[in-house]
């Protein structure tokens, strides 16, 4: 199915695999998470795991660390089959995880953190001196004899906390340390130090599974790379030195299977300008963003994670307060940082994180659909739930939302149907401008086509649409015009059919310090 | 594709349970447990005290006992459903009772109408709520802390104004009105009934109620849907303050005096009643009917214990047990609800 994507795995080098995962599958109700992941890690290597948001990296880590149980697949650890039943079991086997949000207790000392959960004790009394001595040894091994075991962790920098986290992993005698975006909280000097520590770890035979969005880091520190996309391994154990960065991005963003996009219609010459963004900026994130969208036009924003593309949408919508620039809807300026003003002017946003930013998960679908409009159905202050249910029902039928039950809790819907509910909310509202952030994230392949078709139909009815997506293919296929965002700046603007994936990638790469 | 076929097949079988779930959501389902608990308490009351428990006068006593906490609990239901908590309502009740019975207020009431006292109490409560609301919604102070501060400060202010003395209500017309009965039922009980009924309508039938549920259920989603989350949060605390003012008036009528000690620990009784009634402490789901049952359960419990000459201490132990049992059941329910 995924032809043209799965790279032939490079011939296995000699050396026994420390960890071998095969065909790992994990389903959640309403969401696909892992759908056949293969991963092989050798002792003493830095193995990088890359993929877009939602590709399944976090779930895979959770399976390895014992937080989730896979529905199918096998894990072989040092030649023996392994079932990771609990986080403790993972640690006992020698697999330690350093989470992105550093899991240290600020109020405790360094030594107390290192031995958290497996305190050195005799007869119920903690052996503080032994713990301190052993912590000092571990810190020395990590090249950080400067950190006192008695220091309160809350007073350490993010980099210091990371060292504590690593010392904890070593205190469990870990053979494999999983590092989830360890550089996200560090500045460049601290990253260099992190790399030094990682090299020392691997020199002593410990394997590191390194997860990062920053491809240039992977180039510096990684030995081999596995690429995930849509919950599957699309390329396994590529040697870092022989893999161009452009190939990696292509693997991460490329099409899953022959996705067809609806046919574009030419814009009428007299289509009115609906959305005008002038010199919009958010300090430290993006600046000088200007573009216009006409009625019936779909404009796509392409760029890598962290380029500022989602923040641009949120700032237009008023969910973030712009530090410079203006947004006009049909000629009227929007008040900065006021979502309700944007909504009143006919702007709708389908956010990236549907569950945490978009939906009331325990409320019925119809109330989610009418969340922006219930007061319009009300007579005075009194709700008209029958009218709401009817309006929601119309959208449920029009969008083929399944199951077609307006009273079902939003939580029980699949990702695609939750997205349809979000779109239905703005359809009921009657939006002039629709902002879509990752509209097909967590949406299965069948439902994607429906959502593409829906976006097109909306545009044909005169809605101005702005789409942000990690998948360049999606932006190019869906949009009439494409803006390429790199490092918080618009580096290119032009018709979508005059640029291809390579062109976008080249522009994206130019901007990033690769 | 196969996944979709399965989902497409599902609605046919889901038709009936969804209707049941709707009924349960409406309150019928979950309130069964509360009705059973209340009935059990009544059975215990009749078994231990017989006629002494089961007569109209005693029923009135229970309802009178429930009325003041009941009004507070209705306001508390809104705050908790909206994702907050208000620890200050008891103290604000005390402050409002003092402010409404100062010499100045009572003189003015004598000269004009007793409604002046009522208006004063309601205004004091609402302003205290407004201050809570501003601190929480715009100052981003954690609700627990903001209202804890108000709890301490309001009590202190009441003591300062009253000089630590009780202030008797001298306005005869005030006492005449609030200590009378309509159709054989105390005015105080009527007030509780009216507040509860208005609260039910407000929470379940108005845009205000819908916003409350949205703000408590997922404030970010509510904000991105265009709801003014901060302003609504402020309104919720004002509403709680208003109910504290109403409760202060009722307290004045019951005790015929304003006191800075009025309403002590009432906030805890109100929170307990709300939680036992089935409103989620994390917000997003609230039930006025449940709250009323929660209040009735606690006041019936007190009555049964008093009838049997059991100590206040024993009552407290029983109350504690009921709260834990109710929350355990609630969590069970929530877990089962999520998994379906």
CB contact under 8 A, B221 and A446: no
Residue pair A496/A472 in contact (Cβ under 8 Å)? The answer is: no
Split at pLDDT 50, 70, 90, the class of A212 is confident
Distance (Å, whole) CA B276 – CA B323: 6
pLDDT-wise least confident of A131-145, A177-191, A288-302, B198-212: A177-191
CB contact under 8 A, B205 and A404: no
pLDDT reported for residue B337: 53
Split at pLDDT 50, 70, 90, the class of A101 is low
pLDDT above 50 for B2: no
Pick the closest to residue A210 from A240, A252, A247, A242 (CA basis).
A240
Split at pLDDT 50, 70, 90, the class of B5 is very low
Of B1, B7, B210, the CB nearest to A402: B7
Distance (Å, whole) CA A162 – CA B113: 70
Pick the closest to residue A280 from A355, A201, A333, A354 (CA basis).
A333
Residue pair A404/A364 in contact (Cβ under 8 Å)? The answer is: no
Closest A-chain CA to B228: A340
Q: Per mean pLDDT, which of A86-90, A186-190, A299-303 is the most reliable?
A: A299-303
Distance (Å, whole) CA A238 – CA A10: 7
Percent of chain A with pLDDT over 70: 92
Pick the closest to residue A230 from A246, A254, A213 (CA basis).
A254
Of B22, B220, B228, the CB nearest to A357: B220
Mean of pLDDT values over A6-21: 60
Residue pair B47/B169 in contact (Cβ under 8 Å)? The answer is: no
CB contact under 8 A, A405 and B18: yes
- Tokens 């000088």 -> residue: A288
Task: Reduce the DSSP state of residue A468 to 3 states and report it.
Answer: strand
Task: Reduce the DSSP state of residue A235 to 3 states and report it.
Answer: strand
pLDDT reported for residue A14: 44
In this structure, what token pair is assigned to residue A29?
A: 């109700």
pLDDT in tens, A373-424: 999 998 889 999 999 999 999 999 988 888 888 998 898 887 888 999 999 9
Say how many CB pairs under 8 Å bridge A and B: 98
CA distance A11 to chain B (A): 34
Q: Is A224 on the interface with B (CB under 8 A)?
A: no
Between CA B151 and CA B158, with CA B155 as vertex, the angle to 5 degrees is 145
Residues B294-327 as b or e (16 or more Cβ within 10 Å = b): bbbbbbbbbbbbebeeeeeeebeebbeebbeebe
pLDDT reported for residue A184: 72
Distance (Å, whole) CA A241 – CA B165: 84
pLDDT reported for residue A209: 94
Split at pLDDT 50, 70, 90, the class of A204 is confident
Q: Per mean pLDDT, which of A8-12, A244-248, A287-291, B4-8 is the most reliable?
A: A287-291
Task: Reduce the DSSP state of residue A429 to 3 states and report it.
Answer: helix
pLDDT reported for residue A278: 94
Distance (Å, whole) CA A479 – CA A466: 8
Backbone angles phi, psi at B287, to 5 degrees: -140, 120
Residue pair A222/A50 in contact (Cβ under 8 Å)? The answer is: no
- Tokens 């697949």 -> residue: A73
If 0-12 CB within 10 Å is exposed, 13-18 middle and 19+ buried, where does residue A151 land?
Answer: middle
Q: Where are the alpha helices (DSSP H) in chain B?
A: 2-25, 28-49, 56-81, 89-99, 103-111, 115-133, 143-162, 172-178, 187-205, 207-217, 219-224, 229-255, 266-276, 288-307, 312-339
Pick the closest to residue A1 from A41, A28, A35, A51 (CA basis).
A35
Q: Is A415 on the interface with B (CB under 8 A)?
A: no
pLDDT reported for residue B34: 83
Backbone angles phi, psi at A275, to 5 degrees: -115, 130
- Tokens 């205190």 -> residue: A171
pLDDT reported for residue A254: 66
pLDDT above 50 for A350: yes
Q: Per mean pLDDT, which of A387-391, A496-500, B237-241, B327-331 is the most reliable?
A: B237-241
Distance (Å, whole) CA A138 – CA B214: 49
Chosen from A339, A410, A430, A434 to mutate, greatest number of chain B CBs within 10 A:
A339
Q: Per mean pLDDT, which of A161-165, A418-422, B101-105 is the most reliable?
A: A418-422
Closest B-chain CA to A369: B225
pLDDT in tens, A442-465: 777 677 888 898 898 889 889 999
Split at pLDDT 50, 70, 90, the class of B3 is very low
pLDDT reported for residue B30: 65
Distance (Å, whole) CA A40 – CA B172: 87
Domain chopping of chain B, boundaries:
69-267
pLDDT reported for residue A53: 67
pLDDT reported for residue A437: 92
Residue pair A483/A493 in contact (Cβ under 8 Å)? The answer is: yes
CB contact under 8 A, A357 and B221: yes
Chain A, 346 to 365: residues with Cβ < 8 Å from chain B are 349, 351, 356-364
ipTM beyond cut 0.85: no
In chain A, the domains with their CATH numbers are: 1-9+18-94+174-258 (3.40.50.300), 106-172 (no CATH), 273-346+431-514 (3.40.50.300), 355-426 (no CATH)
pLDDT reported for residue A415: 80
pLDDT above 80 for A153: yes
pLDDT reported for residue A258: 55
Split at pLDDT 50, 70, 90, the class of B95 is very high
pLDDT reported for residue B45: 83
- Tokens 């994180």 -> residue: A353
pLDDT above 90 for A343: yes
pLDDT above 70 for A287: yes
Split at pLDDT 50, 70, 90, the class of B296 is very high
pLDDT above 60 for B305: yes
pLDDT above 70 for A157: yes
pLDDT in tens, B19-49: 555 444 444 456 777 888 888 888 888 888 8
Distance (Å, whole) CA B289 – CA B311: 29
Number of C-alpha atoms within 13 angstroms, CB side, residue A374? 29
pLDDT in tens, A223-237: 999 998 878 888 888
More confidently predicted of A344 and A259: A344
CA distance A340 to chain B (A): 4
If 0-12 CB within 10 Å is exposed, 13-18 middle and 19+ buried, where does residue B188 land?
Answer: buried
Name chain B contacts of A447, Cβ cutoff 8 Å: 4
Split at pLDDT 50, 70, 90, the class of A466 is very high
Residue pair B80/B283 in contact (Cβ under 8 Å)? The answer is: yes
pLDDT reported for residue A84: 85
Q: Is B176 on the interface with A (CB under 8 A)?
A: no
pLDDT in tens, A245-286: 778 877 877 655 456 777 777 777 788 899 999 999 999 889
pLDDT reported for residue A12: 44
CB contact under 8 A, B207 and A319: no
Of A358, A381, A411, the CB nearest to B338: A411
Specify the pTM. 0.76
CB contact under 8 A, B205 and A372: no
pLDDT above 70 for A220: yes
pLDDT, mean over chain B: 85
The set of residues, in sequence order, having a beta carbon less than 8 Å from that of A131 and lying 6+ positions away, is: A111, A112, A114, A115, A119, A120, A149
More confidently predicted of A102 and A174: A174
CB contact under 8 A, B226 and A351: no
pLDDT in tens, B160-194: 998 888 888 888 888 888 888 888 888 999 999 99
pLDDT reported for residue A255: 57
Closest B-chain CA to A405: B11
Sort strands A489-495 and A481-486 into parallel, antiparallel or unpaired. Answer: antiparallel
Chain A, 370 to 389: residues with Cβ < 8 Å from chain B are 371-372, 374-375, 378, 381-383
CA distance A312 to chain B (A): 15
pLDDT, mean over chain A: 85
Chain B, 207 to 266: residues with Cβ < 8 Å from chain A are 207-210, 213-214, 217-218, 220-228
pLDDT above 50 for B15: no
- Tokens 């594709």 -> residue: B1
pLDDT reported for residue B140: 92
Mean of pLDDT values over A150-154: 88
Mean of pLDDT values over A157-166: 84
CB contact under 8 A, B224 and A357: yes
Name chain B contacts of A364, Cβ cutoff 8 Å: 25
């Amino acid at each position: 199915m995924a032809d043209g994507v799965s790279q032939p795995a490079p011939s296995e080098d000699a050396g026994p695999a420390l960890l071998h995962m095969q065909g790992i599958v994990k389903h959640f109700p309403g969401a696909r998470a892992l759908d056949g992941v293969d991963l092989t890690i050798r002792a003493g290597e830095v193995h990088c795991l890359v993929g877009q948001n939602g590709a399944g990296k976090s779930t895979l880590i959770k399976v390895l660390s014992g937080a989730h149980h896979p529905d199918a697949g096998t894990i072989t650890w040092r030649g023996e089959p392994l079932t990771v039943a609990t986080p403790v079991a993972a640690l006992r086997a020698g697999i330690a995880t350093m989470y992105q949000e550093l899991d240290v207790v600020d109020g405790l000392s360094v030594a107390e953190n290192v031995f958290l959960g497996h305190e050195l004790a005799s007869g119920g009394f903690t052996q503080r001196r032994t713990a301190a001595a052993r912590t000092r040894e571990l810190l020395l091994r990590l090249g950080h004899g400067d950190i006192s075991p008695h220091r309160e962790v809350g007073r350490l920098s993010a980099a210091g906390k990371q060292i504590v986290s690593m010392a904890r992993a070593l205190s469990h005698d870990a053979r494999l340390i999983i590092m989830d975006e360890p550089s996200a909280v560090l500045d460049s000097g601290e990253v260099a130090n992190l790399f030094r520590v990682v090299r020392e770890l691997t020199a002593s035979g410990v394997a590191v599974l390194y997860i990062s969005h920053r491809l240039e880091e992977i180039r510096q520190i990684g030995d081999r790379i596995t690429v995930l996309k849509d919950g599957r391994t699309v390329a396994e154990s590529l040697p870092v030195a022989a893999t161009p960065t452009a190939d990696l991005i292509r693997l991460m963003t490329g099409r899953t299977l022959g996705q067809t996009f609806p046919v574009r219609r030419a814009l009428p010459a007299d289509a009115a300008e609906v959305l005008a963004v002038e010199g919009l900026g958010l300090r430290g994130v993006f600046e000088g963003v200007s573009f216009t969208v006409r009625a019936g036009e779909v404009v796509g924003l392409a760029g890598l994670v962290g380029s500022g593309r989602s923040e641009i949408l949120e700032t237009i919508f008023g969910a973030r307060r712009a530090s410079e620039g203006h947004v006009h809807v049909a000629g009227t300026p929007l008040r900065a940082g006021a979502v309700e003003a944007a909504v009143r002017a006919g702007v709708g946003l389908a956010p990236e994180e549907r569950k945490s930013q978009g939906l009331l998960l325990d409320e019925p679908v119809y109330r989610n659909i009418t969340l922006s409009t219930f007061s319009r159905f009300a007579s005075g202050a009194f709700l008209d739930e029958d009218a709401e249910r009817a309006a929601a029902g119309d959208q449920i039928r029009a969008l083929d939302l399944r199951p077609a039950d307006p009273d079902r809790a939003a939580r029980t819907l699949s990702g695609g149907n939750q997205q349809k509910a979000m779109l239905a909310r703005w359809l009921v509202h009657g939006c002039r401008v629709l902002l879509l952030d990752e509209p097909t994230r967590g949406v299965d392949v069948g439902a994607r086509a429906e959502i593409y078709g829906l976006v097109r139909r909306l545009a044909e009815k005169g809605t101005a649409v702005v789409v942000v997506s990690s998948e360049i293919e999606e932006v190019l296929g869906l949009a009439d015009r494409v803006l390429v965002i790199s490092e918080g700046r618009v580096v290119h603007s032009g018709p979508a059919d005059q640029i291809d994936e390579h062109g976008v990638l080249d522009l994206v790469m130019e901007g990033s310090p690769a | 594709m196969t996944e979709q076929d399965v989902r497409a097949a599902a609605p046919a079988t889901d038709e009936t349970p969804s209707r049941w779930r709707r009924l349960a959501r409406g309150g019928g389902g979950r309130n069964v447990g509360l009705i059973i608990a209340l009935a059990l308490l009544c059975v215990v009351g009749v078994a231990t005290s017989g006629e002494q428990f089961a007569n109209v006068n005693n029923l009135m006593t229970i309802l009178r006992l429930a009325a003041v906490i009941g009004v507070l609990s209705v306001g508390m239901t809104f705050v908790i459903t909206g994702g907050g908590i208000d620890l200050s309502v008891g103290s604000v009740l005390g402050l409002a009772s003092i402010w409404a019975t100062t010499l100045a207020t009572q003189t003015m009431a004598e000269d004009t109408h007793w409604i002046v006292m009522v208006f004063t109490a309601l205004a004091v409560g609402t302003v205290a709520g407004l201050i809570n609301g501003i601190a929480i919604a715009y100052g981003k102070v954690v609700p627990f802390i903001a209202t804890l501060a108000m709890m301490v400060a309001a009590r202190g202010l009441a003591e300062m104004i009253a000089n630590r003395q009780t202030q008797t209500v001298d306005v005869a017309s005030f006492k005449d009105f609030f200590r009378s009965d309509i159709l054989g039922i105390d005015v105080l009980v009527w007030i509780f009934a009216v507040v509860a009924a208005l609260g039910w309508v407000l929470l379940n039938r108005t845009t205000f109620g819908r916003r409350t549920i949205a703000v408590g259920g997922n404030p970010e989603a509510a904000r991105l849907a265009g709801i003014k989350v901060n302003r609504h949060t402020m309104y919720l605390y004002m509403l709680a303050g208003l109910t504290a003012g109403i409760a202060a008036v009722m307290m004045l009528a019951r005790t015929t005096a304003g006191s800075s000690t009025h309403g002590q620990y009432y906030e805890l009784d109100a929170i307990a009643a709300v939680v036992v009634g089935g409103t989620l402490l994390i917000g997003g789901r609230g039930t006025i009917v449940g709250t009323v049952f929660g209040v009735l359960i606690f006041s019936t419990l007190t009555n049964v214990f008093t009838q049997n000459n059991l100590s206040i201490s024993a009552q407290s132990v029983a109350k504690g047990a009921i709260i834990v049992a109710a929350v355990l059941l609630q969590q069970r329910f929530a877990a089962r609800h999520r998994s379906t």
